[in-house]
């Protein structure tokens, strides 16, 4: 039986939901149905969409939004935030170490080949320290819950974590539609995120920066699935949104084309993957990046957030070593646990996974968005057999995990409310300190019984409230 975050076993609302439940019980269902339609219209007018790659219908899709908030108490949040901060500090230390002294490898805590043969490891970053020593400027840590005090980290997103625009738009929509709820409940703010993001990025401008740092957001362009978010964040921060074709290297600086000529950029918040960042260093066929930007970066004339090469820290094979990584760099046991993980590259683990494939979730080590995975309990026998062949052919490409009983929160349906499984992606900003936005993006599986919450796989989102004490 999944842990229900709203109602306890006696069908009494848990403390964080008591005020909301009292309000909900007094509402006319027809009124709430109308509010659901209003929310959809707001999202449609605002243009909050995403694209799904590989679909015959490549049109922009509206992400489903649920009007019932997910509510977390201040006590629960403090526990989560402490664990997330510890983890992010360890990830940054790990990245600094593997690109410098590699002490964790020499100590035998992580196999050398797991680093050096990893596509996300960039030899170009060896020996280089980014401005302020920060690699992971923006992190999205995916959290799942299985009980009252049982939280697990599902994965670390340290490359170019997305979804924060939905967090902000969800909150704005809820405040617009239900102002009375925010008067009755002391909900911690998330609206400051764009200001804090710009402040955090500007504080890590390269040493040679004079005056107020110029920040820009680098997007792959309008055909990228997260283009709405790139545009939204640039607008909210009051900075330029640029594509690779707007930038060029002049006199050892990355400069942006403006009506006044080319002007230098100090900090580039890039939403372009490493491979496409610099055609002179990585993929020569890339039209998305800036030729020569890596030379400017290594010479200390620009800050790139997140730093190139951070992707290795959210690789799912590396994830399986996170308890060792946290302890190695912080000297303490992890406050937040990993989901138990089998590395299919290890013969004994592979045998176990193949023998128990019907009970496990199997993921590609470089996969994201819910693609390239098998949910054993819901897959057909034919699907499991086909996946087993993939496993035998390239075992190092996969990890496996037990099927967790994810917690549920209510969503609004035609007949009232019904429980659905959720995860949570809190957003973390790293500069001279670690800031964790109180809440994050709650993703919800809209289909009854489904454990897949990704928007690309039919999931939706809801506002996440962290209450003040």
From the first residue on, what is the mean pLDDT of each consecutive set of 10 residues in the chain (469 residues)?
93 96 95 92 77 53 89 97 98 98 97 92 97 96 95 93 94 96 96 97 92 96 90 97 97 95 96 96 96 97 97 90 97 96 93 95 76 85 93 92 92 91 97 96 90 76 95
Distances (CA, A) of 13 to 3, 23, 149, 178, 422: 13, 12, 17, 20, 18
Q: Which residues contact 203 (CB under 8 A, 6 or more apart)?
A: 132, 431, 432
pLDDT, position 44: 83
Distances (CA, A) of 424 to 57, 336, 441, 455: 29, 14, 6, 13
pLDDT, position 85: 98
Are the C-beta atoms of 219 and 273 separated by less than 8 Å? no
Q: Measure the CA dihedral 178/183/186/190, to 10°.
A: 50
Residues in the chain: 469
Token pair listed for 300:
């200390």
In the block, which residue shows the tokens 């010479």?
A: 299
Residue ranges and CATH numbers for the domains of the chain are: 15-97+127-187+408-466 (no CATH), 207-301 (3.40.50.11290), 340-402 (3.30.1490.270)
pLDDT, position 205: 96
Buried b or exposed e, range 170-199, using 16+ CB within 10 angstroms: bbebbeebbeebeeebebeebeebbebbbe
């Amino acid at each position: 039986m999944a842990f229900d975050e709203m109602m306890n076993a006696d069908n009494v609302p848990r403390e964080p939901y008591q005020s909301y439940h009292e309000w909900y019980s007094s509402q006319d269902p027809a009124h709430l149905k109308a509010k659901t339609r209003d929310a959809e219209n707001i999202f449609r007018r605002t243009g909050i969409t995403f694209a799904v790659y590989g679909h015959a219908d490549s049109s922009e899709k509206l992400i489903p939004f649920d009007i019932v908030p997910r509510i977390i108490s201040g006590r629960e949040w403090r526990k989560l935030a402490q664990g997330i901060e510890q983890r992010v500090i360890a990830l940054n230390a790990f990245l600094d170490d593997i690109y410098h002294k590699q002490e964790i490898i020499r100590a035998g805590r992580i196999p050398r080949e797991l680093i050096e043969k990893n596509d996300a490891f960039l030899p170009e970053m060896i020996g280089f320290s980014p401005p302020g020593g920060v690699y992971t400027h923006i992190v999205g840590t995916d959290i799942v819950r299985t009980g009252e005090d049982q939280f697990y980290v599902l994965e670390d997103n340290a490359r170019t974590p997305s979804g924060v625009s939905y967090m902000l738009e969800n909150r704005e929509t809820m405040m617009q539609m239900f102002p009375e709820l925010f008067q009755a409940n002391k909900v911690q703010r998330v609206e400051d995120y764009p200001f804090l993001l710009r402040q955090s990025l500007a504080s890590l401008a390269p040493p040679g920066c004079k005056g107020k740092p110029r920040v820009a957001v680098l997007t792959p362009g309008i055909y990228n699935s997260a283009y709405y978010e790139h545009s939204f964040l640039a607008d909210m921060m009051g900075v330029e949104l640029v594509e690779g074709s707007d930038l060029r290297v002049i006199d050892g600086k990355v400069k942006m084309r403006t009506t006044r000529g080319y002007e230098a950029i100090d900090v580039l918040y890039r939403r372009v993957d490493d491979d496409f960042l610099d055609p002179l260093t990585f993929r020569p066929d890339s039209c998305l990046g800036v030729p020569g930007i890596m030379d400017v970066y290594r010479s200390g004339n620009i800050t790139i957030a997140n730093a190139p090469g951070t992707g290795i820290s959210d690789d799912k094979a590396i994830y399986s070593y996170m308890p060792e990584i946290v302890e190695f760099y912080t000297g303490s046991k992890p406050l937040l646990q990993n989901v138990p993980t089998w590395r299919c590259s290890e013969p004994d683990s592979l045998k176990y996974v193949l023998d128990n494939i019907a009970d496990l979730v199997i993921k590609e080590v470089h996969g994201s968005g819910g693609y390239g995975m098998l949910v054993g309990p819901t897959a057909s026998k034919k699907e499991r057999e086909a996946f087993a062949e993939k496993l035998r052919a390239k075992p190092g490409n996969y990890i496996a995990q037990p099927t967790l009983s994810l917690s549920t929160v209510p969503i609004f349906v035609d007949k009232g409310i019904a429980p659905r499984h959720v995860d949570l992606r809190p957003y973390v900003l790293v500069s001279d300190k670690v800031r964790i936005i109180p809440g994050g993006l709650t993703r919800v599986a809209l289909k009854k019984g489904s454990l897949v919450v990704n928007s690309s796989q039919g999931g939706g989102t809801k506002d996440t409230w962290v209450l003040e004490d």
